[in-house]
Structure 1
Amino acid sequence: MTDIDKTAADTGSGDDPAREGLDARLLVERGSFRLDVALTAAPGDVVALLGPNGAGKTTALRALAGLTPLSGGRLRLDGAELDGTPPESRPVGVVFQDYLLFPHLSALDNVAFGPRCQGLGKAQARALAAEWLARMGLAEHAGAKPRRLSGGQAQRVALARALAIRPRLLLLDEPLAALDARTRLDIRSQLRRHLAEFEAVAVLVTHDPLDAMVLADRLVVIEGGRVVQEGSPTHIARHPRTDYIAQLVGLNLYRGRSDGHTVRLDAGPALTTTEPLTGEVFVAFPPSAVTLHRERPTGTSARNLWRCEVSGLETHGDQIRADLGGELALAADLTTVAAAELGLHPGAEVWATVKAAQTHAYPA
């Protein structure tokens, strides 16, 4: 048995000092695309990789799994170098987006497959698999083939299969993407509980900000093959640094130079904020902070006032999202009643106001 196999088979408590978590710098060059992402995580951490399509999230996940070879960098797990180790010999469990359950095997034998590959006898592997299915609330479905399982049940079988090998690194590729909205809510809650109990490192790839915010301790945002921002969900939601992240968390975001309470934007007018800063800054505020008027308002306490034009309207949850151009490009949220009373339509001229107290400025 190799050192990697021993690590995979170990069922210890997680306070072994040799267990150091994940330490990786993933360098992958494929044609004109270059991925250069550093990832570190301690046992018990859940890290979410976020980014637009083509950013490199899935490439990073495949590199961690050993399915895409590294062009350089390093990949260490609990102090052991994994680069060059075959995927099947790594202490890594993977839940793929489409689950990839073996269609000819029952739920029980799908889960038992990994332990069997690790050398466990058939009876022991099936007993372990039964325990995992019971944990997932699927004991009564042990004999079912994948085609007889619902999407949520299949997702839980795939998670049980990944966890049954006692991985030191759990990789989840869009684990909730194939579920309908109602099932997704329930499975997200269950997945959060299982991840909270997981003693090793978990890395989650998702395009859904809610999945990332609910499930992860730390977010790593990738754009163009590199990390553009990382931190806690709260920090990133409060301090977005790119347009993609701002859209992800639902904020209007601008960059400019601050002199006291006035920020002169790189592209657009000046903004008044409550934070007195000097130098390059970001300014953010939510679309709900924007108030629209058909006539130039008088007597308003708002320090920020711009003449805009409605470029588009769309339903956004239970509100209307107005995309505005003109002096400042921004998004505004308002109720359906307010939109009707204002007579909003594409091309309509409006005045947009935002109170300084509703903006947030921070160093760039």
Structure 2
Amino acid sequence: MDDRRTAAGRKSAPAVRSEASHAYQALGSSEAREAPAAVEAFKEGLDARLVVERGAFRLDVALRVAPGEVAALLGPNGAGKTTALRALAGLTTLTGGRLRLDGAALEDVPPESRPVGVVFQDYLLFPHLSALDNVAFGPRCQGATRAQARARAAEWLRRLGLADHADAKPRRLSGGQAQRVALARALATRPRLLLLDEPLAALDARTRLEVRAQLRRHLAEFEAVAVLVTHDPLDAMVLADRLVVVEDGRVVQEGAPSDIARHPRSDYIARLVGLNLYRGDSDGHVVRLGAGPSITTTEVLSGPVFVAFPPSAVTLYRERPAGASARNLWRCEVAGLETHRDLVRADLSGELPLAADLTTVAAAELDLRPGAEVWATVKATQTHAYPV
């Protein structure tokens, strides 16, 4: 990043990222493959297929990330997110695939020689060094003189609002300050690839909110490639331009956060974004769920589809409702109850397993308890169907 840049004539970071993303997608088309200028223009950025085999586990993840874009690897524990990040950093050896950064092959380049900056989950600051010397460590390793390294470190601390803490040792820093020192240390090496491993996991809830906003601002100014690993959907949605959802070592879905939130394609993603999700075969307005019940939707589709609706769309009754307008009606049993913010979430089994949200007053009036039989309804207008 260069503070001498001015806003005049320069597109916003989101606009640059959007253009880059569309151009990368276009490279998959025949027109792009036949346009040498387009291919030449996008030799910069990350182009990787990360294959790592460890016993019965196999990671096989493809990543293409444009300069100025933030991609988040999102997935459950054990999905392979951290393995992918370590492979990008050179800390885990690839057993197959490729790793290109700005057109250069990195597969055989040792970690210390890669133009990569890493912010680890626990930050790994040197406890005996001041914040300034922690940040200056990278430039010194790259051959800068002590004076040059400390000057660059001071500038990064200033940019991140830590100039007044330059002489502080890590034990004197708050969690948010330590996170920013770790980020400054990574950025001071002028990386072409910035890797962040659960960068907010070590923070308490209150600090996390503030630091998340700060980190988003800093990432928006970063003009090289950034890859974030997290299991927190909110961190991913706020910090990333594009989500890459990994399960069992494979990419199951990728796209803009808003698209993934609207069109989840696995139970894991649906749970993350708080939706009931089903897969079935559509014939007009009716989606049949295998040997189970059907769901009526407003969309007219044919063939394999997903159907989703939020728990808030579910209305519960203790007796079968007479003359209910909802076309979707199922007999269920309360499998469990839990407080969810200011609501009660009911986990229902039966004809159609689903989750329902209702107020504490409504839950009390219905006398909900595990084992209780209820009838669940959802209006067709509150469902959303889309092709598999």
- TM (norm. structure 2) is 0.89
SS of the residue corresponding to residue 265 of structure 2 reads coil
Mapped to 1, the partners of 2:156 and 2:344 lie a distance apart of 45
| 237, 240, 253: which one aligns with 1:216 | 240
**Structure 1 unpaired stretches of 5+:** 1-10
Structure 1 contact 271–304 (Cα < 8 Å) conserved: yes
Aligned-partner SS, 2:83: helix
Partner of 2:122: helix, strand, or coil?
coil
SS in structure 2 at match of 1:128: helix
Task: Specify the SS of the correspondent of 2:238.
Answer: helix
Which of structure 1's runs of 4+ aligned residues deviate more than 4 A? 11-19
Whether 1:284 aligns to 2:308 is yes
AA paired with 1:56? G
The secondary structure found in structure 2 opposite 1:347 is coil
1:354 to 378, 382, 385: 378
Partner of 1:37: 61
Structure 2 equivalent of residue 261 of structure 1: 285
The answer to whether structure 1 residue 321 and structure 2 residue 345 are counterparts is yes
Once the 2 structures are TM-superposed, how far is the Cα of residue 166 of structure 1 from its aligned partner?
A: 1.0
**What residue identity is the alignment partner of 2:312?**
S
SS of equivalent to 1:26: strand
Cα contact 1:19–1:43 (8 A) shared by 2: no
Residues matched between the structures, number: 355
Which runs of structure 2 are paired with 1:67-86 in the superposition (5 Å)?
A: 67-86=91-110
Which of the numbers 131, 139, 155 marks the counterpart of 2:155? Answer: 131
Q: Secondary structure at the match of 2:277?
A: strand
- 1:127 offset after TM fit, Å? 1.0
Give the Cα–Cα distance (whole angstroms) in 2 for the partners of residues 318 and 135 of structure 1.
39
Q: Secondary structure at the match of 1:102?
A: coil
Aligned counterparts of 1:345 and 1:61: Cα–Cα separation in 2: 44
Match of 1:161 in 2: 185
Matched AA of 2:239: L
Could you tell me how far 1:211 is from its partner in structure 2?
0.4
Partners in 2 of 1:289 and 1:339 — Cα distance? 15
> By how many angstroms is 1:299 displaced?
2.5
Q: What CA distance in whole angstroms lies between the structure 2 residues aligned with 1:310 and 1:94?
A: 46
Distance 2:158 2:365 in 1: 55
Alignment partners' CA distance in 1, 2:52 and 2:150: 38
Mapping for residues 162-177 of structure 1, pairs under 5 Å: 162-177=186-201
Deviations 1:165-187 (A, max 9, x none): 11100000000001000000000
Q: Tell me how far 1:267 sits from its aligned partner.
A: 5.3
Q: Which runs of 5+ in 2 are unaligned?
A: 11-15, 21-39
Give 1:18 deviation, angstroms. 7.5
Aligned partner of residue 167 in structure 1, secondary structure: coil
Distance 1:206 1:267 in 2: 37
Residue number in structure 1 paired with 2:359? 335
Q: Secondary structure at the match of 1:256?
A: strand
Q: Is the 8 A contact 1:65 1:94 kept in 2?
A: yes
| AA partner of residue 317 (structure 2) | H
Q: Deviations over 1:235-263 (max 9, x none)?
A: 11011111011101110000111000000
Give, as a single letter, the amino acid of the residue that structure 1 aligns with 2:320: R
Q: Secondary structure at the match of 1:283?
A: strand
2:220 counterpart of 1:200: no
The one-letter code matched in structure 1 to 2:334 is V
What is the CA-CA distance between 1:266 and the residue it aligns to?
2.4
Amino-acid identity (%): 83
Match of 1:244 in 2: 268
Structure 2 residue identity aligned to 1:221: V
**Offset at residue 123 of structure 1 (A):** 0.8
Q: Work out whether residues 26 and 36 of structure 1, in 8 Å CA contact, stay in contact via their aligned partners in 2.
A: yes
Which residue in 2 is equivalent to 1:273?
Answer: 297
Distance 1:353 1:200, change over 3 A: same
Q: Distance in 1 between matches of 2:290 and 2:185?
A: 51
**Shift of residue 268 of structure 1?**
2.4
Which of 46, 55, 75 does residue 22 from structure 1 map onto?
46
**Post-superposition shift, 1:300?**
2.0
Give, in whole Å, the separation in 1 of the partners of 2:211 and 2:325.
46
Structure-1 separation of matches of 2:376 and 2:327: 11
2: distance between equivalents of 1:112 and 1:64?
Answer: 23
Aligned amino acid, residue 293 of structure 1: Y
Aligned to 1:300: 324
Give SS of 1:299's match: coil
Match of 2:117 among 74, 77, 93: 93
- Give the counterpart of 1:141 among 165, 168, 182: 165
